[in-house]
């Protein structure tokens, strides 16, 4: 438990949109997230924030460098092993929600447990849905929900599985102030539990202010901001 749960060293990532053309997105990034902390990643659009998070979670390969999560070097894992590792230890809240459109809210939460043959923690799910303000929607098909409601369902699906680390990509992006506050409250409570951590991309200075530590991306390079968002340029964060 003493080792940091997420450590990236010298991570670079480039894409090749066309043959013979290379576009660098991350440039020799060093990053660390601590236990019991919520770490925010901020910066202007196109700076590499989401790409860094995808690399940290093992959803994207890196061009150079290494990423260790829970002591395991995810950059050297096979695709199958990486998928199993994420399933067993990590949670990821996507901007696009990644819900199953043919299912209800409750069935979306149950699905990962059904696939693994594990008992669904109904009491935990009810508590989460209630605190997020969507318990009354649990039997609704997710396609009938607003974007903000779907975003809260996506968060509940991750948190009900109780992973060690949650990666969240703009988890309040589609939410009003009240709903966004509920989401950040849940992430904050999750990160405060022993043996847990949250890494979050956000454009919101208010959300960044709730983090224990904030780092800023600009042109694929990472810079430390501090223990809150006080070092942010508001124009840059938004």
Task: Give the pLDDT confidence of 216-233 residue by residue, as tens digits.
Answer: 999 999 987 665 544 444
Burial (CB count <10 Å: 0-12, 13-18, 19+), residue 234:
exposed
Model pLDDT, residue 120: 97
Model pLDDT, residue 16: 87
Q: Decide if pLDDT at 235 tops 70.
A: no
Model pLDDT, residue 3: 86
Q: Decide if pLDDT at 48 tops 80.
A: yes
Model pLDDT, residue 17: 82
pLDDT confidence tier of residue 237, bands split at 50, 70 and 90: very low
Q: Model confidence over 178-195: pLDDT tens digits?
A: 999 999 999 999 999 999
Span of 103-107, 152-156, 193-197, 232-236 with lowest mean pLDDT: 232-236
Q: Which residue has the higher pLDDT, 87 or 225?
A: 87
Picking from 160, 164, 161, the residue whose alpha carbon sits closest to that of residue 134 is 160
Burial (CB count <10 Å: 0-12, 13-18, 19+), residue 183:
buried
Average pLDDT for the chain:
91
**Cβ-proximal residues to 21 (8 Å cutoff; 6+ apart), any chain:** none
- CATH homologous superfamily for 6-227? P-loop containing nucleotide triphosphate hydrolases (3.40.50.300)
Q: Which residue has the higher pLDDT, 200 or 3?
A: 200
SS3 76: helix
SS3 23: strand
Q: Decide if pLDDT at 15 tops 50.
A: yes
Q: Which tokens is 126 given?
A: 């009810």
Domain segments of the chain as ranges? 6-227
Share of the chain above pLDDT 70, in %: 93
């Amino acid at each position: 438990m003493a080792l940091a749960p997420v450590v990236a060293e010298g991570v670079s990532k480039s894409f090749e949109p066309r043959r013979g053309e290379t576009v660098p997105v991350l440039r020799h990034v060093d990053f660390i997230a601590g236990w019991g902390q919520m770490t925010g990643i901020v910066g202007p659009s196109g700076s590499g924030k989401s790409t860094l998070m995808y690399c940290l979670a093992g959803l994207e390969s890196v061009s150079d460098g290494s990423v260790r999560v829970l002591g395991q070097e995810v950059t050297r894992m096979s695709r199958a092993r990486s998928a199993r590792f994420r399933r067993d230890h990590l949670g990821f809240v996507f901007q696009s929600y990644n819900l199953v459109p043919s299912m209800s809210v409750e069935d979306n939460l149950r699905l990962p447990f059904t696939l693994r043959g594990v008992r669904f923690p109904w009491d935990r799910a009810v508590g989460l849905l209630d605190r997020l303000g969507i318990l009354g929607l649990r039997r609704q098909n997710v396609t009938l929900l607003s974007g903000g409601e779907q975003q809260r369902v996506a968060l509940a699906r991750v948190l009900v599985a109780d992973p060690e680390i949650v990666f969240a990509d703009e988890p309040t992006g589609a939410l009003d102030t009240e709903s966004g506050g509920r989401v950040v409250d849940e992430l904050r409570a999750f990160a405060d539990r022993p043996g847990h951590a949250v890494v979050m991309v956000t454009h919101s200075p208010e959300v960044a202010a709730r983090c224990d530590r904030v780092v800023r991306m600009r042109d694929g390079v990472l810079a430390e901001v501090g223990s809150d968002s006080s070092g942010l340029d508001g124009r840059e964060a938004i």
